[in-house]
Amino acid sequence: MLEPTVAAIRPLDEAAMAAARELQGRLTKPAGSLGALEPLSVRLAGLAGTCPPPLPDRAAVAIFAGDHGVHAQGVTPWPQEVTAQMIGNFLAGGAVVNTFARQAGASVTVVDVGVATPLSVTPADPAARAADPVGPPVLSADVVATPADPDGPRLVMANVRAGTRDMTVTAALTRDEARAAVETGIRVADELIADGAGILLTGDMGIGNTTPAAALVAAFTGVDAAEATGRGTGVDDGTYARKVEVVRAALARHAPDPADPLGVLAAVGGLEHAALAGLILGAAARRVPVLLDGVIAVSAALAAAAFAPDAVDAMVAGHRSAEPGATAALRHLGLDPLIDLGLRLGEGTGALLALPVVTGAVRVLHEVATFDSAGVAEK
Ligand SMILES: Cc1cc2ncn([C@H]3O[C@H](COP(=O)(O)O)[C@@H](O)[C@H]3O)c2cc1C
Ligand SMILES: O=C(O)c1cccnc1
């Protein structure tokens, strides 16, 4: 599934981009006055292969959740169980991502791709659902399916393994495990797009996951561990110094080759990072834009770009995370984030806040009058 998906990722459509540039020049506004929205609208036309491109409606955020063996190195103050507990919160609608998703009108799909704590949700079946109509929406499927409440958050059970191994001791994943996670992400993208999603948004949950994110950024961009590593959930000075050394030690142990993205993900990645790389590849192959969240997302985007350089054309950087590794990754990808609010939460929150900007960029091409049609004089 990985290889055909990578092979399906093609360059942007030049004719559609030329049409979008030409249309931008005829709309009733000074040329260039919409700043970054103009090249974004042109790129999305090139991605869709048509001008105007479809409105990015029926937005879907996919939150990939996983745990991390490197948690044992004391890289975060939070207990590992919080990953599973937050999944319960996502399904109950109580997390920040749920609030922003409701505001944006986006669906929320949580994917357990590698949580270590057994989830305290029972796989739903229609009979159980009917008996408990107000219980949390749960699914038992390794693909996205329609839950009893089609508008509520849903869970996809696709656990590859119960957390990664400690990357300072051994490779976090085998190549087969990394591939299984990437292919889960591709499948989730396929299912969400088949369900009608016009744009995918990346989300993540995994206590400790800013540490593998930093290692991925260093491996793919070549920046030093200190430049790639941030304070995550807010670690103290001692923990931060240890975290930098953990990233440095993992890179020294594995010497990951950036030309072998599956090898990098296996050595120092996380299951949610690998699945996010797959989601991005799946979206790019189907020529649907993917709106990136914070440092976990952009570290996964580096892997996706290493698999398929043209996948970058499908990526929109939602925001600039406060994590320094995010800035290093965005620079490497050549992406400018749409908003910069000092967020450092993850879950998909920054991507959701940026969604109206993307929609606005496209809606302009659909709705704004031309100088000709509106009878407005040109300069
Ligand atoms: C309550 C809570 C909710 C979160 N939502 C996202 N994260 C974010 O913080 C974690 C990464 O930070 P670190 O590497 O420092 O552990 C991930 O779970 C990420 O999704 C959360 C973290 C916590 C504690
Ligand atoms: O940038 C992020 O996504 C992020 C930052 C800190 C903690 N968790 C996620």
For the question of an ipTM over 0.95, the answer is yes
For 338-365, give the DSSP string: SB-------TTHHHHHHHHHHHHHHHHH
Q: What angle do CA 170, 76, 184 make, to 5 degrees?
A: 60
Q: Is 78 in the pocket of ligand 1 (CB under 6 A)?
A: yes
Give tens-digit pLDDT for 307-365. 999 999 999 999 999 999 999 999 999 999 999 999 999 999 999 999 999 999 999 99
- Ligand 2 atom nearest 233 alpha carbon: 7
Give tens-digit pLDDT for 160-199. 999 999 999 999 999 999 999 999 999 999 999 999 999 9
Handedness of CA 224, 334, 107, 275 (dihedral sign): negative
Regions in the chain scoring below 70 on pLDDT = 120-150
Distance 36 CA to ligand 2 centre (A): 24
Report residue 161 as tokens: 């393994």
pLDDT at 88: 86
Q: Are the C-beta atoms of 210 and 270 separated by less than 8 Å?
A: no
Q: Are the C-beta atoms of 119 and 140 separated by less than 8 Å?
A: no
pLDDT at 150: 65
Q: What angle do CA 273, 276, 280 make, to 5 degrees?
A: 140
The residues carrying an active-site annotation are 347
Q: Is 232 in the pocket of ligand 2 (CB under 6 A)?
A: yes
**Can the peptide bond before residue 256 be classed as cis, meaning omega within 30 degrees of 0?**
no
pLDDT at 127: 53
pLDDT at 131: 54
- Cβ neighbors of 219 (< 8 A, separation 6 or more) are 251, 256, 258, 264, 267, 268
What burial letters (b/e) apply to 348-365, b meaning 16+ CB within 10 Å?
Answer: bbbbbbbbebbbebbbbb
Return the axis-axis angle of helices 261-268 and 295-307, rounded to nearest 10°.
150
Q: Which of 272, 295, 340 to mutate to test the pocket of ligand 2 (most atoms within 8 A of CB)?
A: 295
Closest Cα to atom 1, ligand 2: which residue? 294
Q: State the Cα–Cα distance between residues 280 and 23, nearest whole angstrom.
A: 29
Please report, for the chain, the start and end positions of each structural domain, with discontinuous segments joined by +: 56-127+136-356
| β-bridge partners, 66 | 114
pTM of the model: 0.95
Distance 321 CA to ligand 2 centre (A): 7
Which architecture, in CATH terms, is 56-127+136-356?
A: 3-Layer(aba) Sandwich (3.40)
